Amino acid sequence: MSTERLQKILSNAGIASRRDAEKMIVGNRVAVNGKIENILGSRANPVDDLITVDNIPISFQKYRYVALNKPPGVLTSARDDRGRKTVLDLLGKNDITMHPVGRLDLESEGLILLTNDGQLTNLLTHPKHRVEKEYLVEIDRPLGKVQRLRLMRGIYEKGELLKATAVERARESNTSDSEEDRWLLITLQEGKNREIRRMMGVMKRRIQTLRRVRIGLLNLGTLKIGEFRNLSSDEIATLYAPFKGTENMQ
């Protein structure tokens, strides 16, 4: 595909009118393959080039972003040598460029983000960014306030510190008052391997349900288990928003 003027590309992508796109360009907000382009008349290839506005990719035809509600028993992996079902199998498409962002263990369910955008994957998963993940957890016996605070202060399991950012009582819509205290909303930032299951093991609790309901600012919402949907441009921008100005941004 031949090159086009940047303002035309931005306009065709629905980012802004051509006049506003020109303001973005001269305002040093537009980059092509990591290089700021601030001269009107600059050109790019909308298919092959990575074009960003405020470090957010606008070439959405090049990248895919999918939210999936993972069922228990499905691997959070692009493929499996043993032939087990993976989250990519649920998409129904053989897209080898797509990959899950982060992991959920085999028994857990809930929100998984799949994409072929390596930059966003790095931002959301790098430990230094401390991106929050929130989980709805059902346990066999309630945890009192002191025990919930203990999880936030941190506990050790096999010499490793496990720590939640927040632990709150939650209630599922179909639970009774007697069951209410068995449901918790737990927020993590580091997301160590099987962290919540290990914490609950230390607390002598058995997990009945472990469902991720949020990654950063992206919520599971009403997405039914096993279903998936493409993210909107606003949701993609929201995921990128906390990282504006980050040194790792291209």
- Which positions are catalytic? 105
User: What sign does the CA torsion over 185, 131, 198, 77 have?
Assistant: positive
Q: In 3-state terms, what secondary structure has residue 125?
A: helix
How far is 209 from 138, CA to CA, in rounded Å?
A: 5
Q: Please enumerate in sequence order all residues whose Cβ is within 8 A of that of 179, keeping only pairs 6 or more positions apart, or say none.
A: none
β 218-219/51-53 pair status: unpaired
* Amino acid identity at 215: I
Q: What are phi and psi of 29, to 5 degrees?
A: -100, -10
CA 120 to chain centroid, in Å, comes to 9
Interacting residues of 98 by C-beta distance below 8 A, sequence separation 6+: 64, 66, 78, 88, 91, 114, 115, 116
Beta strand pairing call for 160-162 and 51-53 = unpaired
φ/ψ of residue 116, rounded to 5: -115, 20
Phi, psi dihedral angles at 142 (to 5 degrees): -60, 160
Could you tell me if 79 and 88 are in contact, meaning their C-beta atoms sit under 8 angstroms apart? yes
